[in-house]
Structures are given as structure tokens and as C-alpha cells.
Chain A
Amino acid sequence: MSDPLVNVRDLKIGATVYPPGERPHDIEIVHGVSFDLQKGKVLGLIGESGAGKSTIGLASMAYGRGGVKITGGEVWINGRDILQTSVRDVRALRGGEVTYVSQSAAASFNPAKKIMEQVIEAAVEHGKFSKKDAEARARVLFAKLGLPDPDNIGDRYPHQVSGGQLQRCMTALALCPEPDLVVFDEPTTALDVTTQIDVLKAIKEAIRDTGVAALYITHDLAVVAQVSDDIMVLRHGDMVEYGDVDQIINAPREDYTKALVSVRSIEHEEKAPAGDPVLSIRNVTARYKGTKFDVLHNVNADLYPGQTLAVVGESGSGKSTLARVITGLLPPREGEIEFAGRVLSPDLASRTRDDLRELQMIYQMADVAMNPRQTVGTIIGRPLEFYFDMKGAEKRKRIIELLDEIELGEEFIDRYPAELSGGQKQRVCIARALAAKPKMIICDEVTSALDPLVADGILKLLLNLQKIENVAYLFITHDLATVRAISDNIAVMYQGRVQRYGSKSEVLSPPFDDYTDLLLGSVPEMRLGWLEEVIANRKMESAGN
């Protein structure tokens, strides 16, 4: 075997942390990781947030984000240890030999400059190509990556193209200087599933055609299985398992890897509609103020007590707008919302306190949904005061009950949100919603920002609470695995319309309409060769293009 392109030995990375109420101090976040990568091969780095995978990826460019410092080990690229070379040499490496594709192309492109200018900048700066040649190469890459109008798309500004297109432009940016290694840092995580497929395919083909080596960082094992040759599983800055893709997916050795492979094992029996619906959405059509287009067209759906209606769709399908209509933030143009046997006032301001109490909400971003200066006890106690006039010992007793229900316990009562993990924060938000004793909770992408294993815990908790409290959920999500795990009924939304509606078993069984087929087929499956299969069998172009 020839010398590897990349050879990482015992890499140690540290960071300065600023915990509340303590002195800032240094901690180690990656504890001695080693791997190597041959020319033209793809290594997948996989793990949950905090595993150190992005940090390792950036270390291969001798870069530390924020206060992150590489504290030990060696990173050999093209025969030299890049941690020991001069600043000038590191600059030649970045953007020349090693390039980077970030998770959010929308944030990583400079809004003030044309796409072409940014795509060719590194190639020209490092003297790899003249401006003219670099532009020609960029156009070829645009075409190869399946971008529309490859000859002119470079003249646009980043805000003038869609998210999926911009992510492909970012890949072109990374490939333009003919690097030896590309670091892909969650390049498809921010995209809708149907768009993700196209970007994934484009990246895979570009890697194959240019013969470049890649580090592919993601938390989604099913995605990494489609593009990698080898996979390294990371957890808390340690290597858990390292092997070829076939072994990791089909014969994982470590328990943690097995848990990742079999994640989303929740079995939820759907319940038949019983009694009168707690929520009826009737012929709702809505548009935003000052616009000329309806974003919801004649939407109908019912939600029964103690059950879950999953509203599933991609970004722009109108699912969050529907939540705004139900909560009264956006009064509908036509139609009405019937809740617990009464027609709700379309406008939030004229709803009664009971309307507000019985219809609670949980959000995607738990940390911005809580006041960082209030303790958990204050946060959960507020609805108890507001709706039930509870005070003193009575309130405290109820708060502790709620903390027990969300499996956190009394010791959390005086903590601040900053001291909680992402999953714990979401649990506190759930307790706050439950404190109002609602008939129904709108859950807006409540697990999307969480790691798979943590999200699983939240879903189990929600199902458990549903049994105890008989509360109904309107569960908004783009993730079909979540839908399978939690729903009794499903509404598939597409371009502001309910495309498909019915019980879980009906909606998820064939025959499908074209869109539902595309959506279901786009969810990455944890087996090799899935990507090629699904691309070959598609009936419809994805919505993101």
C-alpha cells in the first residue's frame, strides 16, 4: 500500500470553557484519535453532537473554531506534519490542498459577493488556475453537480438560489482548486430529505469523478453508509469503532454502534379515532399579510383526544403556518378552527384564558424558548401561577411532580437552562406545557435539533405522558422516522395543501401518490447501495430544485 494521503496520529484537541459561576478553564475535547486515508477514498466520521467530529475535520486544516486549540498529536498530509509547519505553509494548505464544505452553505457564502467570485477565489489565490480557467472549471463543476443553467448561475448572488443549489455551489467551491482532500461537514443535514438525495448523489459522483479523498462528517449513519469507504464512530472525543462501511453497518462490534444502527426502534400501535375530535381544522385558507399568495389552501384535518396527528412535509409546505393559524398568530382568510367543541376566535388577542391554557406549544429550539435568567422551577411554575393561581408550597409540590413526570427529579428545580443538556431543556419545555393541563399540545419539530438517541428518549417520554394525561399532540415534523414512531393519524403536506390524510397505516401503505412516494423513498435507509437504487426508481423530481 502506498503512503496514505492523510495520516492522523494521536490527535488531541482542547478548548477553553466558561461555565457559569466557575473560572474559565481548559478541557480536552478530543482524546487521542488516529486514522489514515488513502488518495481517492472517503472516510465517514460519525457521532452525536459533542463527539468531536467537526473539530477533527477542521484539525485536518490546522484550524480551530473559536477557542479550540490542537494540543497534541500529528496530522500528516502529503508527507508533512501540518501542525508543525509555518503560517504561510498552512495558508497554502487551506483552500489549496484541503478544502471545506460546511453544513450551512447559506451562512458560509458571503452575501455581498457573486457566487462565481467566491467559488474560484481559492483556486486563483493559490495560483492553481488563472481566473479564466478557474471560471471554466467552475462551470464544468456546476454542470457536473446538476445545477440549473451552469453557465450563468455563477453570476447570481447567494440569496438568489435555493438552499439545495447553494449547498452544491459550496461543493463546487471546494472542488474548484483541485484539492487532494475535501472535508464535508454535515453537508446535507440542513436540507429536506428529497433535496438531500440529489445533493448526496452529486457529492458522491463528484468525489468519484475527481478522484479526491474526503472526510465525510455526519450524525446520520444511513447517509454516511451511502458515500463512505470506511467509517469511524466517535463519542465524547474518543474513537468507539473504526472499520470499513460494510462491517460497521452490517456487523457492528461495539454496543454504542449497535445502538446507532438500530436507532428509532419505537413500536407504536396506532389508535382508532374515538369520540369527538379535540381539534377540527375546517377548510382553512391563509396567507401572510402584505403578500398575494395563499400559503395554505383549504386544509382539513381532525385530531382526537389522547392521540397524535403528525403533520409532515418539507420546508415551505405550510406545516408551521398551520400551527400559526391554530394558535391564532395568523388568522385564516377562510375556514375555522374548532377546539374542544367550540369554534376558536381566529385572532389570538380575543381568545379566552381557557383557550390559551388548553392549547399549549413546544418548540424546536428549547434553549431560545426559555428565559436564560430564570430557574427551571420559575419556568415551570409560571403557568401554574398564571392559570391556577398556585403559590408557595402547593406550587412547589406540583413543580416537583412535573419534574418527576419528565424523569428529571427535584434536584433540577434550582438549575438554569444553561446548565442543562439539549434533551433536558426540551423536557423542561414539555413540563411547562403540561403544567397548564392542556387538552392538546402542538409539537413543532421538537426533536429535530436533538441527537437521534436523545430524540428517541423524548419521543418515548411524549408517548408515555400521552397515556397518563390523555393529551393530544399535533406533531409537526419533516422526519418520517419520527412520524412512524409517534403518530396515529398523518397529514402529508405539500405546497400548502394536504396531499394525503388518514390513519398511519393507510398513509404509509401503497398505493402512493407521486409526492408521498418521493418523500417516503427519500428517507435514507441504513444499507449499502440504497442511494443508487432510489435514484433509479424515482417518478418525480424533488421539490427543492
Chain B
Amino acid sequence: MPLIAKLLVQRIALGLLLLFLVSGLIFAGTMILPGDVAQSILGQSATPEALANLRAELGLNEPAMQRYFNWLGGILTGDLGTALTSGTDIAESIGKRLSNTLFLAFWAAIIAVPLAIFLGLLAVRFKDRWPDKMISAVTLASISIPEFLIGYVLMYLIAVKLRWFPSVAMINDGMSLGDKLSAIALPVAVLTLVVLAHMMRMTRAAILNVMQSAYIETAELKGLNGFQVIFRHAFPNAIAPIVNVVMLNLAYLVVGVVVIEVVFVYPGMGQYLVDHVSKRDVPVVQACGLIFAAVYIGLNMVADIVAILSNPRLRHPK
């Protein structure tokens, strides 16, 4: 097997192994959560008989190992179980929430990633001059302000004062794409501001690192202009670190947006998870945790695969 195929297979296998281990951790973690599901469903006044019955019904009396493998087996066949509190199918309710979260993350990424890379390239081109300093200052400021504050400030200015976009990002299936985009404009803007700085600064650093190389001098001595040197000769060699930080931020867009969802009352995964944590609905928490873990592991795996593929020494061995 060629080296590159071997590396890719290894990396994918590692990702799957990691996911398996994380599933164990999630299960163990929810096991040691304080409190009792039956108690919280039935309330403080429940009789001991009723509690015992409910526990048996929910399968809470079986050994942990067995419950873990039942759970894992269910997930592998697409069955995430039923929510204890509402009795609905988790896969169905998560499916809707997840697609909302992905919708928001997708549009935030579509704007933030190219913008961050473009600003990074611009900062390199005008290194240590005013465009570079301004880009750094603005992006650093935006990452330093708490995201809920940016959210409320934008809401006040754009939704309340200017009335361009709605302040509440409620979306449903009946809306057209345009209506949906208008509804999520503000949360997308906030998310973009939050993830921009990290990606932009990494792009700048990665390309500046490459700009020290002798082949950049060769390109300059060919009479290429600044942007040609950066685009053609520096950028292709900086892809791996840039993709890495982009993937981390994409993962954040999926997993870490609970604050934004609450601020804009957006019906995404984060809110769903928080609701069910407070209700001690363990199967839902487990399912959400596993999905988040899969997103993180999957995106990081993609980053590593891109890094492997972007290395010409691996793509074209001697």
C-alpha cells in the first residue's frame, strides 16, 4: 500500500477509535451525574413503588455495562432512544435541531472562513503597515468582547434602531430561504465576528512563516508582485495549518453556539441540550454529547487528511 494511503487509513481508524472511547466517557459521565431520573420525572411526592416501577420500566436497574452496549448498539442502527421526559423519539427531535444548527453554522462559515483568509492575506501583504494593524486591532477587539454583549449591541443597533433584520431568529419549515437568511442575519454576524480573529491571525502567522523561505525570495526575484507571491507561492505551503484552525472554528460553530442560540432564541442543538441537562434527561444528553464529539473528531480528522494530501512529498513519492 502506498505510504499516503496507509497514513490516511491510519488517521481514519484513529478517528473512529477516538469516537468509540469518547462514547464510553460520555456514558460514564452521565452515569455519575447526581440525581435520579425517576425522581425528577415523578416529583418529590412520588411513592417508592411508583419510583421503583418507573426505574424498571426505564431499564435503570440493569448493569451499566449492559446499558452501555444496548445504547451503543442502538446508535449504530440509528436509534438514539426516547427522551425520558417527553417520550418522543430523540433522533427525530435532534434531527430537526441539528439541521437548524448546521444551517446557522454553514452560513456563518461561508462568510467567516473566506473573509478571515482574505484578511489574513491582506495583513501579510501590508505587514506592519496600517491595514495589518487595523485588521489585527478590529479582530482582536471583536474576539475579546463577550459574544452575548456583541449580540445585544447588534440587536439594539440593527434590529431595534435600524429595523433591518428581526431580533429573534425563529425559523420554521414554512419559511422561504430568503426569509430564513433574514432571520439568522444577526446571529451569523455575531458568530462571524467571534471566529474571525482566530482564523485570520493563524492565516497571517502561517503565511508569514512560509514567507521566510528561500523560494519566496526566488518568486520575488522573478518580478512577481506582492499578491502573486503570497497567493501562488506562500499560500499553497501554508494550507495545512490554516485548514487546521478553520476546522477548529467550524467545530466551534456547531458545538459552542449555545449562548448565541439563547440570545437570539434560535431553535438549535445547544438550547436543546441545555434544556435537557436541566431536566436530567440522560438519553438526550448522551445523544447530543456524542453528536458534538463526532463533529469535533470528524472535522479535525478532515484537517489532518487535508494536511496529508497537501504535502507534495506524500502525494508524489520519489
Contacts and interface: CB of A to CB of B under 8 A. Distances in A.
Q: Do A and B bind each other?
A: yes
A118 B233 CA distance: 10
A473 interface: no
Interface in B86-129: none
Contacts of A108: 214-215, 217-218
Contacts of A94: 220-223
A156 to B, nearest CB: 8
B223 A96 contact: yes
Interface centre among A91, A112, A159, A173 (most CB of B within 10 A): A112
Nearest to B221: A100
B318 A126 contact: no
Given A65-B217, A107-B214, A125 B318 contact: no
Contacts of B313: 111, 157, 159
The 3 A-B residue pairs with the shortest CB-CB distance in the complex, in nearest-first order:
A95-B222, A95-B223, A94-B223
Contacts of A92: 223
Given A107-B213, A157-B312, A61 B218 contact: no
A102 interface: yes
B136 interface: no
Contacts of A113: 232-233, 236
Contacts of A112: 236-237, 310, 312
7 contacts: A107-B214, A109-B218, A111-B313, A112-B312, A121-B222, A122-B222, A159-B312
A189 to B, nearest CB: 14
A159 B224 contact: no
Contact of B220 (A63, A104, A110): A63
Contacts of A487: none
Contact of A125 (B213, B221, B224, B312): B224
A490 to B, nearest CB: 33
A108 B217 CA distance: 8
Contact of B237 (A63, A107, A110, A122): A110
B213 to A, nearest CB: 7
A129 to B, nearest CB: 14
B316 interface: yes
B225 interface: yes
Contacts of A160: 316, 318
Interface in B295-318: 310, 312-313, 316, 318
B263 interface: no
Contacts of B221: 61, 63, 94-95, 99-100
Interface string B270-302: 000000000000000000000000000000000
Contacts of B228: 125
Interface in B223-273: 223-225, 228, 232-233, 236-237
Interface string B10-23: 00000000000000
Contacts of B223: 90-96, 122, 125-126
Given A110-B237, A112-B312, 13 more contacts: A63-B220, A91-B225, A96-B223, A102-B214, A108-B214, A109-B218, A112-B310, A121-B224, A122-B222, A125-B222, A125-B224, A159-B318, A160-B316
A190 to B, nearest CB: 12
B219 interface: yes
Interface size class for chain A?
Answer: 20 to 34
Contacts of B218: 100, 102, 108-110, 118, 173
Nearest to A106: B214
Interface size class for chain B?
Answer: 20 to 34
Interface centre among B218, B224, B225 (most CB of A within 10 A): B218
B215 A107 contact: yes
Given A102-B214, A160-B318, A111 B312 contact: yes
A166 to B, nearest CB: 12
Interface in A133-162: 156-157, 159-160
A125 B220 CA distance: 12
Contacts of A126: 223
Nearest to A63: B221
Nearest to A160: B318
Nearest to A155: B316
A61 B222 CA distance: 10
Nearest to A177: B222
Nearest to B219: A110
Interface string B41-82: 000000000000000000000000000000000000000000
A111 B237 contact: yes
A196 to B, nearest CB: 20
Interface in A311-333: none
B312 to A, nearest CB: 5
A160 B314 CA distance: 11
Contacts of A65: 217
A180 to B, nearest CB: 14
A108 B215 CA distance: 4
Nearest to B214: A107
A90 B226 CA distance: 13
Contacts of A102: 214, 217-218
A94 B318 CA distance: 32
A157 B215 CA distance: 14
Contacts of B310: 112
Interface centre among B219, B222, B237, B316 (most CB of A within 10 A): B222
Contacts of A107: 213-215
B215 A110 contact: yes
A104 B215 CA distance: 10
Contact of A104 (B214, B224, B232): B214
Contacts of B219: 110, 121
B154 to A, nearest CB: 40
Nearest to A103: B214
Interface centre among B217, B219, B221, B224 (most CB of A within 10 A): B221
Contact of A109 (B215, B236, B318): B215
A111 B312 CA distance: 7
Nearest to B239: A112
Contacts of A122: 222-223
B57 to A, nearest CB: 58
B128 to A, nearest CB: 13
Nearest to B313: A159
Contacts of B318: 159-160
A506 to B, nearest CB: 38
Nearest to B215: A110
A104 B217 CA distance: 12
A100 B221 CA distance: 7
Contacts of B225: 91
A175 to B, nearest CB: 13
B7 to A, nearest CB: 15
A156 B316 CA distance: 8
Nearest to A183: B221
Contact of A157 (B214, B224, B316): B316
Contacts of B224: 91, 95, 121, 125
A354 B39 CA distance: 74
Contacts of B233: 110, 113
Contacts of A121: 219, 222, 224, 232
